[in-house]
Amino acid sequence: MRDILTPALLAAREILLAKHSASSPSQKEDLTPVTEADLAANRVILDWISLVHPDDHVLSEEAVIPNYQERRDWKRVWIVDPLDGTSEFVAGNLEYGVSIGVCQNGVIEEGVIIAPALGLIAWGGLGQGAWRADVTREDLLECDGGIPDSLWNKLNYQKVALKISGRYPQYSPDISILCSRSHNDPDTLKAIGSFPGAERITVGACIKFIRLAQGVADYYPRLKSLHEWDIAGGHAIVKAAGGNMYEYGTRREVTYNSPTLGSPPFEAY
C-alpha cells in the first residue's frame, strides 16, 4: 500500500504548508471554494502519479476533465480529491482530508484518506484489509518527495485493522447513521428519518468513511449526488473493511469513470 499512501502523504504536507490560504479562498465556476492548499495538493499528487505511473489516468477535482469519449476505455484510473471538505477547511474545522481511490475498469480497488488536522490516516485495498494509524504534523512535514523509511515503519508498527460493524440497515432499526456536518438535503434527511430509533452522528467530509470503516457508525446514506472524487477513497476503505457502497435501495456496487462523474444516490454499510 506504500504506492497509494505516498501521494496522499505528499498532498497532506502541502496542505499543512498552505494552511494560511484557508483565510483567502477563491470561488470556482460552480460557486464552491478553492484555496492554494487545494491546488498545491493537486499538483504534487499529479506530478507523483505521472512520474511513477505514467500509463495510468487521473480524474481530479482540481484538474481538467477529458470528455467521456476520450476516457470511456480507460482501465486503471486514480480518482483524486486533493482537499475534500474545503468548506470545512475554510471555516476552521478539522474534518477535511486528502482522498484518493484507484479503480480498475470502473471497480474501486484501493484507497486512502488522510486528515492532517486530525492526525489520522486510513487506507485499504482488496485482499489487503483496511487500516488506520495516527500521524503527527512532524511526520507529514518529513514527506518531502516521498515517505521516509522511519515513517513507513511507524505506520506498519502502529496500524490498527478496521472492520465495519456489520449492523445492516435492513435488520437494525436502531443503527447509528452518519450525517453530513455542512451539506444536508431533503431526500437524505427523509431517508435518515425512516429510522426513528437511530442515533445520528454528524461528521464532516470524507472522515465519515473512516468512522464507518471503524465501526463507530453503522450506515451512511446520501441521496444527493456528489462527485466521484468525493467518495472513491472512502468507498475503497469501507470495502476493504468488509462493507461496500451500493446504489441506494439496491445491491449494485457504485462504479466509477461514468459519463457525468456524478455519484448515484448511495448507501454505504
Render pLDDT for 13-30 as a digit per residue (tens, 0 to 9). 999 999 999 999 999 999
Pair 202, 235 in one domain: yes
Is residue 20 situated within a structural domain? yes
Q: List the one residue out of 138, 19, 26, 136 whose CA is nearest residue 89.
A: 19
pLDDT at 183 over 80: no
- Identify the bridge partners of residue 132 per DSSP, sorted by sequence position: 122, 160
Given a contact cutoff of 8 angstroms between Cβ atoms, the answer to whether 38 and 60 are in contact is no
Domain count of the fold of the chain: 2
Domain containing 194 — which CATH number? 3.40.190.80
Is residue 61 situated within a structural domain? yes
φ and ψ at 193, to 5 degrees? -65, -15
- The span from the CA of 231 to the CA of 219, in Å, is 15
Section 139-151 average pLDDT? 95
Is residue 109 situated within a structural domain? yes
Domain span at residue 207? 176-268
- With H, G, I as helix, E, B as strand and everything else as coil, classify residue 142: coil
Pair 204, 153 in one domain: no
Domain containing 135 — which CATH number? 3.30.540.10
Pair 42, 12 in one domain: yes
Pair 119, 190 in one domain: no
- The span from the CA of 221 to the CA of 89, in Å, is 23
Q: List the grid coordinates of 259.
A: 459519463
Is residue 229 situated within a structural domain? yes
Number of neighbours of residue 4 by Cβ within 10 angstroms: 21
Given a contact cutoff of 8 angstroms between Cβ atoms, the answer to whether 68 and 19 are in contact is no
- The span from the CA of 72 to the CA of 33, in Å, is 29
Q: Mean pLDDT across the chain, nearest whole number? A: 96
pLDDT at 182 over 80: no
Is residue 167 situated within a structural domain? no
Q: What is the largest CA-CA distance in the chain?
A: 51
What's the pLDDT at 33? 96
- The span from the CA of 211 to the CA of 237, in Å, is 10
**Distances, alpha carbon 180 to alpha carbons 86, 88, 124, 183, 268, in Å:** 14, 11, 23, 6, 14
- Identify the bridge partners of residue 176 per DSSP, sorted by sequence position: 199
- The span from the CA of 188 to the CA of 220, in Å, is 10
Section 212-241 average pLDDT? 97
pLDDT at 173 over 90: no
What's the pLDDT at 181? 85
- The span from the CA of 37 to the CA of 62, in Å, is 11
Pair 142, 57 in one domain: yes
Is pTM beyond 0.95 here?
yes
pLDDT at 119 over 90: yes
Pair 198, 129 in one domain: no
Pair 121, 250 in one domain: no
DSSP secondary-structure letter at 27? Answer: E
Pair 155, 193 in one domain: no
